[in-house]
Structure 1
Amino acid sequence: MNRFFTASLCAVALGAVAVQAQAQENPTLTIYTYDAFAASWGPGPALKEGFEAQCDCEVNFVATDSSIGALRRAQLEGDDTSADIILGLDTATVGEAMATGLFVEHGLEFEGLDLPLDWTDAVFAPVDYGYFAFVYNSEIVDNPPASFEELAAMPDDFKIVIQDPRASTPGLGLVLWIKAAYGDGAIDIWRGIAPNVLTVTNGWSESYDLFLSGEADMVLSYTTSPAYHLIAEDDDRFAAARFDEGHYTQIEVAGILSASENQDLARDFLAYLVSPQAQAVIPETNWMYPVVEPEGGLHEGFAQMIDPDPALLLDSDAVTQNTRAWIEEAFSALR
Structure 2
Amino acid sequence: MRIPFLAAALAATALPASAADRPVLTVYTYESFVAEWGPGPIVEAAFEETCGCDLNFVAAGDGAALLARLRLEGERTRADLVLGLDTNLTAAAAETGLFAPHDHDPDRLDLPVAWNDPLFLPYDWSYFAFVYDKTRLPEPPASFEALIAAPEDLKIVIQDPRSSTPGLGLLLWVRAAYGERAPEIWEGLAPHILTVTKGWTESYGLFIDGEADMALSYTTSPAYHLIAEDDDTKAAARFDEGHYLQIEVAGLLASSDQPELARQFLDFMLTEPFQAAIPTTNWMYPAVTPEAGLPAGFETLIQPDTALLFPADEAARVRDEALAEWRDALSR
Q: TM-score range by the shorter chain?
A: over 0.9
The one-character-per-residue Cα deviations of 1:139-192 (angstroms, maximum 9, x if unpaired) are 001110000000001111110000011111000100111111111111111111
Secondary structure in structure 1 of the residue aligned to 2:108: coil
> In 2 relative to 1, CA 183–23 (structure 1 residues): closer, same or farther, beyond 3 Å?
same
Q: Which runs of 5+ in 1 are unaligned?
A: 1-12
| Alpha-carbon distance, 1:21 to partner | 6.0
2:215 to 202, 219, 239: 219
1:23 maps to amino acid: A
2:258 is the alignment partner of 1:247: no
The one-character-per-residue Cα deviations of 1:277-329 (angstroms, maximum 9, x if unpaired) are 31000000000001112142211200000111211111222111121111111
Q: Is the 8 A contact 2:158 2:215 kept in 1?
A: yes
| Cross-structure match for 1:85 | 81
Q: In structure 1, how many angstroms separate the alpha carbons of the residues matched to 2:180 and 2:102?
A: 37
The one-character-per-residue Cα deviations of 1:187-218 (angstroms, maximum 9, x if unpaired) are 11111111000111110001101111111000
Q: In structure 2, how many angstroms separate the alpha carbons of the residues matched to 1:21 and 1:222?
A: 43
Q: In structure 2, how many angstroms separate the alpha carbons of the residues matched to 1:28 and 1:255?
A: 17
1:192 maps to amino acid: G
- Structure 1 runs, 4 residues or longer, greater than 4 Å off: 15-22
2:275 to 275, 279, 282: 279
2:160 is the alignment partner of 1:130: no
Q: Where in structure 2 are the equivalents of 1:1-335 lying within 5 Å?
A: 16=13, 19=16, 22-24=19-21, 26-335=22-331
Q: In structure 2, how many angstroms separate the alpha carbons of the residues matched to 1:50 and 1:296?
A: 18
| Alpha-carbon distance, 1:80 to partner | 2.3
Secondary structure in structure 2 of the residue aligned to 1:300: coil
| Alpha-carbon distance, 1:20 to partner | 5.5
Normalising by structure 1, report the TM-score. 0.93
1:49 maps to amino acid: A
1:53 maps to amino acid: E
The one-character-per-residue Cα deviations of 1:67-106 (angstroms, maximum 9, x if unpaired) are 2212222222222221111111001110111111111111
> In 2 relative to 1, CA 34–21 (structure 1 residues): closer, same or farther, beyond 3 Å?
same
Q: In structure 1, how many angstroms separate the alpha carbons of the residues matched to 2:20 and 2:290?
A: 33
Q: In structure 2, how many angstroms separate the alpha carbons of the residues matched to 1:240 and 1:108?
A: 34
Q: Is the 8 A contact 1:145 1:241 kept in 2?
A: yes
Q: In structure 2, how many angstroms separate the alpha carbons of the residues matched to 1:44 and 1:238?
A: 25
Q: In structure 2, how many angstroms separate the alpha carbons of the residues matched to 1:293 and 1:283?
A: 10
| Alpha-carbon distance, 1:23 to partner | 3.4
Cα RMSD, aligned residues only: 1.7
Normalising by structure 2, report the TM-score. 0.93
Q: In structure 2, how many angstroms separate the alpha carbons of the residues matched to 1:16 and 1:211?
A: 48
Secondary structure in structure 2 of the residue aligned to 1:125: strand
Q: Is the 8 A contact 1:130 1:250 kept in 2?
A: yes
2:194 maps to amino acid: L
| Alpha-carbon distance, 1:242 to partner | 0.4
The one-character-per-residue Cα deviations of 1:94-141 (angstroms, maximum 9, x if unpaired) are 011111111111122244211011111111110100000000011001
| Alpha-carbon distance, 1:22 to partner | 4.3
Count of aligned positions: 322
Q: Is the 8 A contact 1:277 1:295 kept in 2?
A: no
2:178 maps to amino acid: Y
2:129 maps to amino acid: A
Q: State, as a whole percentage, how many aligned pairs show the same letter.
A: 55
